[in-house]
Amino acid sequence: MPLFLICFCFSLTIQAQTQGFAFCQTPGSLSTLLTASEKSSVTDLIVNGSINACDFQFLRDSMPLLSYLDISNTTIVSYTGFMGTSFGQIVTYPDNTVPEIAFINKTTLISITLPSTVTTIGDNAFYNCNKLYTVSFTSPSSLTSIGNYAFKKCSTILSFTIPSTVNFIGESAFSECSGMYYAITIPSSVTEINTNTFYGCTYLSSITIPSSVTTIDEDAFANCSALLTVDANNPNYSSINGVLFDKNKTTLIQCPTSISGRYVIPSTVTTLSIPNDYYGAFYGCKNLTSIVIPSSVTTINNNQTFGNCSGLKTLYASASSPISISSLGTFNGASTSTCVLHVPYGSKNAYSKSKPWSYFSNIVEASVWNGTGVYTNSSNWSSASVPASGDDVVVAGGELAIDQSITVNNLTIDPGAKITLQSWWNSITVLGNLTILSNSSGTGTFIDNGGTINVSGTTTVQQYLTGAGNTNPNGRYW
């Protein structure tokens, strides 16, 4: 006769928790050690001894109030049969493995402590445990593998420390862990971050990616708030201020949803999103109000690169010809009825006929000056050559976006006119004075976006007098 020893110590606390302890000498026998009343009432359970997939099936399906589970002093042994967690199917469950779908949809589970001998967390093991708060690994952990969808939709986990022994993290392993906040460090033994691994982790603060990671699959960090930091020695990937790129910064892979305000895509970038992304580089970036796409970008991959960028107010497309985009869902949820699409002078007609760019209700020609030729804009601008360092320049109206550095003598910005530096590396050097005029309808505007304006003389804001004309009649309209 096998020996079974079980001891239950019941106590009613303020939280009405019922506690129990069980020692299981024979794997698969846990269900025989509890009475019907105990099965339906126990909330906190410590199990010692040997268990297998049959016991996990019992814990999941036959203990409706189970909230706190400590199996740190158990040994998980193999089992082959149809009584495991995939009930009714003949499956072989390996040693030292939290079985596949072990606690799937176990919405009462709040905390679990696993034994140090566990090497694998199976596919869907904790899927949709939407009250799971704590997952603890007894030290020293032997965990090497976290299966596909293992913790998907565990929306109340605040933090998760991935043991340094882990070398595999499966597809969607932490997808939609929307409550996860504290920083994640990927162990240096991991070489691949799979599809959707951290999709929808909308409160996660940061993720550190080691040099060992050589493959990042589709949408691995889509709709994720975490600032991404890549080890400088990584051979395939890099990061700038939390944004993920390939090594040479020619492909912008993922912008975290926590990035806010105006974002200027670096001029090294030629491609947005990686092929086969479903969501893509800027999906869910609701905090961004303005994005500048440089003329270097020639390819926008996937279905929803700018999807759900609902806070976007301005989008600057610097290419004179619209980038060909096969997906008509690229701007889904990007408020194309209110977001203003700024395009180079003379290209409005082309953009208005090219889907999905044509979905924007308001397309404005705001030329990006590239240092050559003649600039002409709306009726309150007149044609003029590109200014030289000795020129006095009056900006009489409209908007001029500049993507390099210029030098002028005196610079005057009329009411309602705007000069925008596209990037932090752009500058305007004013050898004389900068004058910004205003009237009852507004003030001239200069937006630096991190770039610089250097003024040798004085900078003043003057009252613009009706009928006075321009303050410098000899100035050149540009």
pLDDT band at 389 (very low <50, low <70, confident <90, very high): low
pLDDT band at 292 (very low <50, low <70, confident <90, very high): confident
**pLDDT higher at 90 or 411:** 90
User: Which of the residue ranges 14-23, 117-126, 457-466 has the most confident prediction, judged by mean pLDDT?
Assistant: 117-126
- Is residue 384 pLDDT above 80, yes or no? no
**pLDDT higher at 455 or 216:** 216
pLDDT of res. 391: 57
Stretch 261-268: mean pLDDT: 88
pLDDT band at 9 (very low <50, low <70, confident <90, very high): very low
Stretch 9-18: mean pLDDT: 45
Model confidence pLDDT, tens digit, residues 323-349: 999 888 999 999 899 999 988 767 899
Q: Which of 237, 197, 195 is nearest to 213 (CA)?
A: 237
Q: What is the mean pLDDT of the chain?
A: 85
- Is residue 379 pLDDT above 60, yes or no? no
pLDDT of res. 406: 76
Q: What is the 3-state secondary structure (H, E, C) of 278-316?
A: CCCCCCCCCCEEEEEECCCCCEECCCCCCCCCCCCCEEE
Instruction: Report the DSSP beta bridge partners of residue 68.
Output: 44, 111
pLDDT of res. 33: 92
- Is residue 387 pLDDT above 60, yes or no? no
Cα–Cα distance between 132 and 154 in angstroms, integer? 6
Cα–Cα distance between 374 and 396 in angstroms, integer? 16
pLDDT of res. 407: 79
Stretch 408-415: mean pLDDT: 73
pLDDT of res. 390: 53
Cα–Cα distance between 185 and 347 in angstroms, integer? 46
